[in-house]
Structure 1
C-alpha cells in the first residue's frame, strides 16, 4: 500500500536542521532533534517568566498555571493537572469522541467544516465535562477566547475578551481553591488549539479525495489511527515551536549560549531530523525512531498527551470512514508557534 501514503511537505518557514543559530529577532533557533531534547530537559533552559495580574484575569491565569510557572512552583502546580487527568480513562474519552462525531455527521448536510463543527468543540466539551465544568458548551467557547490570547504579546482586544472568558470559566469550574481552578482551566487551554490542529492536519493530509475513492484504492486501509496520527504529529505538528531562556551559560550543539539568551525550540524541524528519523520526509506510520518531540519532554512534557490523542483518535476514526476531503484551499490561522487550520471542508457520506 505504499502508493497510498500521503505526501506531507514541510510547512512554509520550517528551517533545515543544523547547529543552533542566532536569528534576526534576537533568539537562538534550535532545530536538531538531539539539541531540542537537551534544551527541554536541561535546567539551564527555563520557560520565560510571565507577569501576573489581578485575580480572575488572563494575566493571573498565566501566572498561576504550571505551564508558565518557575521551577520552584511548577511541580506542585503540575500535580494538580496530572491528578485531574489521572481520573480520566483515555479509552472512554475516545469512545465519547466517536459517538459525538458520528452524531454530528448524522445531523450534517452534504458538507461540514471539520474545524468549526468537530475539531474544536468535540474534544473541548468532552474534556470540560469530565473535569467538572458545569456547562461544557459555554466552557468550550470561553476556552477558545482564552487560547487566542494565551501567549504573551497578544493584541489588547483579544486580551480583554480573554479576561471576560477567564471570569466565565472560573464561574463554571468545580468548587476548589483558585490555584486548582486555574490549572483545570489551563488543561483546557493547552488542549484547545493543539488537539484541534492535530485533527485538522490529519483530515487534510489523510482523508481520501473523491478521485482517490473512485479509483477503488482505499488509502491507508488497515493502518491504525494511532500510527497515522503519530506521523501527522511528526510531519505537520500543531505546535511548531516552544520558547526557553537560558539562566546560565549553556553548551548546546557545539555552541555556547550566554545567560539570558532567548531560545526557540523548533519541533517542526527536529521531527524531520535525518539523524533521528530514516527517510525523514517520508510518511511511514508505525516507524521506529528517536521519539516525537511535539508533546515536549522531561518534567514539562505535556501531561495530557494520551488524553489528547484519544480524543483526536475518536474524531478521526469516524472522519476516515464517512468523509471525503474537498478541494477547497486550506488556510491556517496566523500564529507564531501554532499551525491550526482555520477551516476545513469535507463532504459527508
Structure 2
C-alpha cells in the first residue's frame, strides 16, 4: 500500500492544482504519509492541500485526507460519521477491526469507548498526575545531568528517548530493573528505516514481547496491589463493571505511543524550534517554558495525522467521500491553517494557541494531555536550568520515519553551560 519511493504513480496524484503562470502545465499535488521526502517537510504539501485540494484522494494508498482546520475539527467531533473502530494508523498491522489491540479504547466508538474511557479515567486521575510531579523532576535530573558534564549533548539519544519511558514506567509501576527492556521494545515498535506502509518483523515481535511482559505484570499486581496506575486500573469500577486483564494490557500498550512517543517527540521538536528561532529561544530560556511548549505543539506537533473510517457518504467541498472510506485527518496541517492562525509558519510565543489540535478534539481528546505537558515543562525547566544556550549539529540530526508522527531520532547539540 505504500508508494515505495519519493514519487508516486500517476494515479495517486489526484485533484490537479493550478499552474503558476499562464501557459504552464498544471502540476498535480501528491501526498502520502509513507513518503520520506514529505515526512522531511510536510508543511508545503499541507499548504497546497488546504488551498487547492481540501478533500484529497490517494488511490494508491487508498485513503482520503482532510487538511483544513474547520474540516479536521468537525470530523474529530463527529464520531457518528467518522468512526475510530479501525484504528488511528493506516499500516496493515494497525488497521482493521483488531485495532483496539494496539490502541485500546482510542480505537472504539460509543458505547464501548464511553465505558472504557470512563473506567480508565477513574485510575488516571489529575491527583495521581499531580502527586507524580516531584518524582518526574527527579527522573528528569537523573536522565539529563550525566550528559551535560561537557559541551556535547544529544536531546534525543541522551535524554528524550529515556525520560518519558521512565516516567510512564514509574506511573504504571514497572520495576526499575525492567525499564530498559520496556524502553527498547517501545523504540522497536515505533520506528523503522525503510520506506513503506508495513511493520518489520522485529516491530511485530516487540509488540508481542510487550504484551507478554505487561500480562505478567498485571497478573503480579492482581496478587499484590501497589500505589501505581496498574493497581488503579485493576481497582477501577463502575458498580460491578471492571476492566478485564486483557483490557488493562491494551491500555498499557497504548501508553507506549500515547504516553511515551508523544512526549519524546515533543521535546525534540521544541528543541529544534528554539534553535531555529533565536528570539523565541531567548524568551523560552528566560522562563517562558509553557509558551514554548504550546507553540511547538501548534507549529510542529508530534502527531501529524489521525485516521478515521466513514460510516456513510460524506459530502464536503463538492466531493463525496464514500462510506467505509479511510480518512486521514491532518492535524499537522490544521495547526498551520491561516484561517485560524495568522502567519502560521511563524514561530511566535505570543500567539493564541487555543485552536491547536495537537492533542485531538472531541470525545477522543487525549486523556494524558496534562501529563504530557507536565513532563515537557519539567524536562525543559531542568535542561534550561543547566544550559544557557545551544546550537544543533544539523548535518548529523536524523528524523524518525513514521506515517503519523513527526520528530527526531537524533539531535546532537553543542551547549553552553550556565555559570
TM-score by length of 1: 0.82
* Cα shift at 1:107: 1.9
- Equivalent residue, structure 1, for 2:377: 313
The number of residue pairs the alignment matches comes to 325
Q: Which moved more, 1:122-131 or 1:95-104?
A: 95-104
d(CA) in 1 for partners of 2:210, 2:73: 34
Query: 3-state SS of the aligned residue for 2:359?
Result: coil
Kindly provide the CA deviation profile for residues 88-144 of structure 1, in whole angstroms up to 9, marking residues without a partner as x: 544454443333333333322422322123212212212222222334614334333
Query: 3-state SS of the aligned residue for 2:393?
Result: coil
d(CA) in 1 for partners of 2:295, 2:202: 36
- Equivalent residue, structure 1, for 2:82: 45
Correspondence list, 1:276-315, <5 A: 276-288=340-352, 291-315=355-379
Does 2:203 match 1:172? Answer: no
- Equivalent residue, structure 2, for 1:333: 400
- Equivalent residue, structure 2, for 1:69: 108
Which structure: larger Rg? 2
Query: 3-state SS of the aligned residue for 1:232?
Result: helix
* Cα shift at 1:286: 4.1
d(CA) in 2 for partners of 1:265, 1:60: 17
Query: 3-state SS of the aligned residue for 1:71?
Result: coil
Query: 3-state SS of the aligned residue for 2:153?
Result: strand
Retained in 2: the 8 A contact 1:123–1:195?
yes
* Cα shift at 1:26: 2.5
d(CA) in 2 for partners of 1:276, 1:289: 10
- Equivalent residue, structure 2, for 1:20: 55
Query: 3-state SS of the aligned residue for 1:243?
Result: strand
Query: 3-state SS of the aligned residue for 2:315?
Result: strand
Runs (4+) off by over 6 Å = none
Question: Structure 1's 208 and 242: CA in aligned 2 closer, same or farther, altered over 3 A?
Answer: closer
* Cα shift at 1:80: 3.5
- Equivalent residue, structure 2, for 1:189: 257
Q: Which has the higher contact order (CA 8 A, sep 6+)?
A: 1
d(CA) in 1 for partners of 2:134, 2:413: 22
d(CA) in 1 for partners of 2:108, 2:161: 26
* Cα shift at 1:159: 0.4
- Equivalent residue, structure 2, for 1:258: 322
Question: Structure 1's 208 and 256: CA in aligned 2 closer, same or farther, altered over 3 A?
Answer: closer
Unmatched tracts of structure 2, length 5 or more: 1-38, 88-97, 223-233, 235-244
Question: Structure 1's 191 and 179: CA in aligned 2 closer, same or farther, altered over 3 A?
Answer: same
Question: Structure 1's 262 and 39: CA in aligned 2 closer, same or farther, altered over 3 A?
Answer: same
Question: Structure 1's 325 and 82: CA in aligned 2 closer, same or farther, altered over 3 A?
Answer: farther
* Cα shift at 1:287: 1.9
d(CA) in 2 for partners of 1:261, 1:68: 16
* Cα shift at 1:248: 0.6
Retained in 1: the 8 A contact 2:186–2:206?
no
* Cα shift at 1:155: 2.0
Kindly provide the CA deviation profile for residues 33-59 of structure 1, in whole angstroms up to 9, marking residues without a partner as x: 010001111120112526xxxxxxxx6
d(CA) in 2 for partners of 1:254, 1:306: 38
Question: Structure 1's 188 and 88: CA in aligned 2 closer, same or farther, altered over 3 A?
Answer: farther
Correspondence list, 1:74-153, <5 A: 74-86=113-125, 88-108=127-147, 109-110=149-150, 111-135=152-176, 137=179, 138-148=181-191, 153=198
